[in-house]
Amino acid sequence: MRLFRLLLPILIPLAGLPATAVAHEGLHLHQPWIREAPPGAEVMAGYVVVHNPDAIPHVLVGASSPGFAKAMLHQTRETNGVATMVHLKRIEIPAGKAIAFAPGGYHIMLMKPKHHYQAGDKVPVTLRFADGETLTTSFVVRKGQ
């Protein structure tokens, strides 16, 4: 799939079609951060904006971090005034759109931190997509908002 994406901008002009219609710019991660938790906390939450400038959707299927034993995709949902967290196996990032992982909505549940992380610390987190693509970036620990 990756090779196809690399060759597509070359093949389209050869076919006489406009290359701009399907140019692959790649996914972008903006403002990655983790909410600081008190010492001894077993769970933290990560947030990021995933922007998809491509002409096709991408499907996020997982996350991982060497700083935590486990990472899962979650969404906070409110039903009848009660907020609950739901584990998600996939989140579609629509073509030309962005999905914000933010408090009260989508988030990356980071379980069993291997260290006590404080505001200012940076932790690598990898996002995994259905097509096999991965994106890794440093999430900055900061006080919650």
CATH of the domain at 87: 2.60.40.1890
**Among the listed residues 6, 29, 9, the one whose alpha carbon sits nearest the alpha carbon of residue 18:** 9
- Please state the domain count of the chain: 1
| Residues 92-133 pLDDT 10s | 999 999 999 999 999 999 999 999 999 999 999 999 999 999
How much is the pTM? 0.80
Q: Note whether residue 63 is domain-resident.
A: yes
- Quote the CA–CA distance of 19 and 8 in Å, as a whole number: 8
Residue 16: φ, ψ to 5°: 85, 15
Q: In the chain, what percentage of residues exceed pLDDT 90?
A: 75
What's residue 145's pLDDT? 65
Residue 16 scores a pLDDT above 60: no
What's residue 105's pLDDT? 95
Q: Note whether residue 118 is domain-resident.
A: yes
Instruction: For residue 77, give its domain range.
Output: 25-142
